[in-house]
């Protein structure tokens, strides 16, 4: 069986496990205005920009509640306890794991699930790896990526990097999205789904929806932070860049990995 088929099978099994996960028969959310905001974001979806903007809007500090591993980030109980009854804004790429769900349900926390077209996220991820590693495969920063790029990865062309990431990273990303969507639809925990496209089309509406989700209603001014890699990890907000960069066979292969239900639901056509 191919690696992609194994990942798809694991995703289906994972979704069924997550749907059936219910340590309590009733979910009573006790989120209050004093609790922090939890952003669970797809890598390279404007995550840092959103977190830093919210800390400016709310005049609070940022928090990391996990181990920082891309897509398999596990919550640290000591850190998540800081979020309860606090004004922090936490941002992570949390895994849709039973362990994380258990923690979130124990503390009755809400979560914002922030997404982007996986193909554009993958292209931005390629540029991000180049930046954080400075093209050095021995960089410690790459230890947070599974799998770490192959030996000649950084010497290869952009097209070769795209091929490698479609094969090795995109299936993991799709599994991550599918399992979190299943959790949101099953209402296992309260989840607000937002999309990177909103940063480009209506930034105010995006932040309004997050604040309203956390019962925070007040007048504010958008911080309008610098949209740069150095300041906010912000590269491009162009949702169609991948269409110009991917070769026809890469477009077809990537599309085949994304379930039709997700493509239709989020207009990832």
State the Cα–Cα distance between residues 184 and 260, nearest whole angstrom.
18
- Structural domains in the chain? 3-20+34-265 (3.40.50.300)
Place of tokens 């309008």: 224
> What pTM did the predictor assign?
0.85
157-187 pLDDT, tens digit per residue, is 999 999 999 999 999 999 999 999 999 999 9
State the Cα–Cα distance between residues 82 and 78, nearest whole angstrom.
7
State the Cα–Cα distance between residues 195 and 118, nearest whole angstrom.
11
DSSP H/E element including 191: strand 191-195
7-62 pLDDT, tens digit per residue, is 455 556 555 555 554 444 333 333 344 679 999 999 999 888 999 999 999 999 99
Phi and psi dihedrals of 191, rounded to 5?
-130, 130
């Amino acid at each position: 069986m191919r690696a992609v088929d194994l990942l798809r099978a694991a995703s289906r099994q994972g979704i069924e496990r997550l749907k059936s996960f219910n340590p309590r028969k009733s979910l009573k959310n006790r989120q209050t205005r004093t609790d922090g905001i939890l952003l669970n974001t797809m890598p390279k979806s404007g995550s840092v920009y959103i977190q830093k903007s919210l800390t400016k809007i709310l005049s609070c500090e940022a928090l990391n509640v996990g181990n920082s591993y891309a897509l398999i980030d596990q919550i640290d109980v000591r850190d998540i306890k800081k979020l309860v009854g606090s004004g922090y804004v936490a941002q992570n790429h949390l895994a849709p794991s039973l362990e994380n769900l258990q923690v979130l349900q124990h503390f009755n926390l809400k979560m914002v699930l922030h997404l982007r077209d996986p193909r554009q996220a993958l292209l931005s991820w390629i540029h991000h790896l180049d930046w954080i590693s400075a093209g050095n495969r021995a960089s410690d920063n790459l230890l947070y990526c599974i799998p770490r790029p192959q030996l000649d990865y950084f010497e290869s062309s952009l097209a070769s990097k795209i091929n490698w990431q479609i094969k090795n990273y995109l299936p993991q990303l799709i599994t991550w999205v599918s399992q979190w969507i299943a959790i949101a639809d099953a209402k296992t925990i309260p989840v607000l789904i937002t999309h990177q496209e909103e940063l480009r089309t209506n930034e105010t509406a995006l932040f309004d929806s997050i604040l309203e989700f956390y019962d925070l209603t007040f007048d504010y001014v958008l911080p309008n932070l610098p949209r740069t890699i150095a300041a906010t990890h912000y590269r491009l907000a162009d949702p169609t860049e991948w269409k110009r960069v991917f070769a026809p066979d890469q477009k077809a292969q990537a599309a085949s990995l994304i379930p039709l239900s997700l493509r239709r639901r989020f207009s990832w056509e």
